[in-house]
Amino acid sequence: MNSIRFVTPGEQSKYVAEEAARLLDSAITSRGQALLAVSGGKSPIGIFEILRTQSIAWGQVTICLVDERWVPPDHDRSNEKLVRVHLMQEKAAASKFISVYGAGSTPVEAAKVLSAKFIDSPALGSGVDVALLGMGEDGHTASWFPRSQQLGDCLSSSHAYAAVSAEEGRDPRVTMTLSAVANAKKIILCVEGEVKRAVLADAAGAGGVEQYPVRAVLRLPDNQAAIRVA
């Protein structure tokens, strides 16, 4: 993967937001619509709050989640709530959103429904235009956790989404699979802080994806993705 180093998180957020807007605008110009996949957590908030001010045809943008905890959309741990509060405001209020929690009555059902949409929906069928990923201090990205029961499914399934059961005190989740992420036209992996920087450097070396699932992304073709490190 290509790598760009930033001095501050603010510089990173500005660059990523403007780059994402440029890529979305290009997709809209070429096919009349764009699909943006975003992750949760605190790190993307700065990106979201800049991205929502960008002057693109937001009415032609559909936003989906890379992964979601199986909690109601008004829950403080909900990524949907995070996106609606911090991204789908100002100019981006005109965008459309695909809810994970609202897609089915269970994580398994929601994963099936969302995966079918990626085949049948004109808005989703051509794949994600921009995927914004983060990374945890344990080397996970999306909801691909080290040595989890569903890690194999997440990395090998041909479906777009997979259900992840509750382990080690985590909420059940629904996550994009490697197949869906790898099909994105551009992946931007954002990593902030010294601890995560060290994990990323370690993950860039030899070893299995079971230790650091983010390796599955790091090993994608160079022309597809870029690492943004603050």
pTM of the full predicted structure? 0.95
Task: Residue 55: count other Cβ atoms within 10 Å of its Cβ.
Answer: 8
Burial 204-226 (b: 16+ CB within 10 A, else e): beeeebeebbbbbbbebeeebbb
Beta partners for residue 225, in sequence order: 187
- Regions of the chain where pLDDT drops below 50: none
Torsion of CA 153, 189, 203, 140, to 10 degrees: -40
Please tell me the predicted confidence (pLDDT) of residue 5: 85
DSSP 50-70: HHTTS-S-GGGEEEEESEEES
Beta partners for residue 67, in sequence order: 175
* Single-letter code of the amino acid located at 195: V
Residues in the chain: 230
Please tell me the predicted confidence (pLDDT) of residue 230: 58
- What is the tens place of the pLDDT at every residue in 92-151? 999 999 999 999 999 999 999 999 999 988 778 889 999 999 999 999 999 999 999 999
DSSP 73-138: TTSTT-HHHHHHHHTSSGGGGGSEE--SGGG-SSHHHHHHHHHHHHHH-TTTTT--SEEEE---TT
End-to-end CA, the chain: 16
Q: Which two tokens stand for residue 72?
A: 């109601």
Closest CA to 97 of 133, 48, 50: 48
